[in-house]
């Protein structure tokens, strides 16, 4: 005969990552193109919290400093604005030296206990250089002056590279590439903001 045994199932303890946390607010996609003596930085207008679109016309690209630097962010919106403020402070310390200011910000971002928790990526550009900044301390200059970040960043980047040898100027390439990314990425829409600077 088989004796029946009753198994007691213990409730599984939840790890911090498994407990319900508020979904972060995210904004994507950002693209920069440098061509024909002009640098353009553009972004779409969608901000999502989890799977929900909460804003369709956010401005994720803005001029920084004295207007001679353009910045765009992808990631948590509040975190990105904090980083913009920090970058503007660095630009005041190192006027006309975007690379130096970006490196100093990246150092703080990696080592500061508060900044380390911020979830965003940034593209910044002036007349001389375009850079990508990350929370791991990276300051990267893209090849050929073209790069994209955010959920639709790879789609926009691929489109921009394909269009770069054609007749379109930098701003037109950014607009067309973001439009293509919006066809593919559900976190990207067509409310596009583009800022341009004359490049050296």
Upper half-sphere CA count for residue 56 (Cβ side, 13 Å): 5
Mean pLDDT over each residue of the chain, to the nearest integer:
85
Q: What is the pLDDT of residue 108?
A: 85
CB burial of 139-164 (b: ≥16 within 10 Å; e: otherwise) equals beebeebbbbbbbbbebbbebbbebb
Domain positions in the chain: 25-198
Tokens of 152: 């639709």
Residue 21 has pLDDT above 60, yes or no: no
Alpha-carbon distance of 46 to 60, in angstroms, equals 9
pLDDT of 117 higher than 80? no
What value does the mean pLDDT take over residues 106-129?
85
Predicted structure pTM score: 0.84
Tell me the per-residue pLDDT of 27-58, one tens digit each, with 9 for 90 and over.
679 999 999 999 999 999 998 887 888 889 98
Classify 25-198 by CATH class: alpha beta
The token pair that represents 2 in the structure block: 């088989």
The answer, yes or no, to whether residue 4 has pLDDT greater than 80, is no
pLDDT in tens, 88-100: 999 999 999 999 9
How confident is residue 26, by pLDDT bands cut at 50, 70 and 90? low
Other beta carbons less than 10 A from residue 113's beta carbon:
6
Does the pLDDT at position 5 exceed 70? Answer: no
Catalytic residues: 28
Looking at mean pLDDT, say which of 66-80, 89-103, 106-120, 130-144 comes out highest: 89-103
């Amino acid at each position: 005969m088989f004796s029946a045994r009753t198994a007691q199932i213990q409730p599984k303890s939840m790890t911090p990552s498994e407990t319900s946390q508020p979904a972060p607010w995210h904004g994507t996609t950002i693209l920069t193109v440098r061509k024909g003596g002009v640098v353009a930085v553009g972004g779409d207008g969608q901000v999502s919290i989890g799977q929900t679109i909460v804003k369709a016309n956010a401005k994720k690209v803005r001029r920084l400093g004295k207007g001679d630097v353009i910045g765009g962010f992808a990631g948590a919106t509040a975190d990105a604005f904090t980083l913009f403020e920090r970058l503007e402070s660095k630009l005041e310390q190192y006027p006309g030296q975007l690379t130096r200011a970006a490196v100093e910000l990246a150092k703080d971002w990696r080592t500061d206990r508060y900044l380390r928790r911020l979830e965003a990526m940034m593209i910044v550009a002036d007349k001389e250089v375009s850079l990508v900044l990350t929370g791991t301390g990276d300051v990267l200059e893209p090849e050929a002056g073209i790069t994209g970040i955010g959920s639709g960043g790879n789609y926009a980047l691929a489109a921009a590279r394909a269009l770069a040898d054609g007749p379109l100027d930098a701003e037109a390439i950014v607009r067309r590439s973001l439009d293509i990314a919006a066809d593919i990425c559900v976190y990207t829409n067509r409310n596009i903001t583009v800022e341009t600077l004359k490049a050296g």
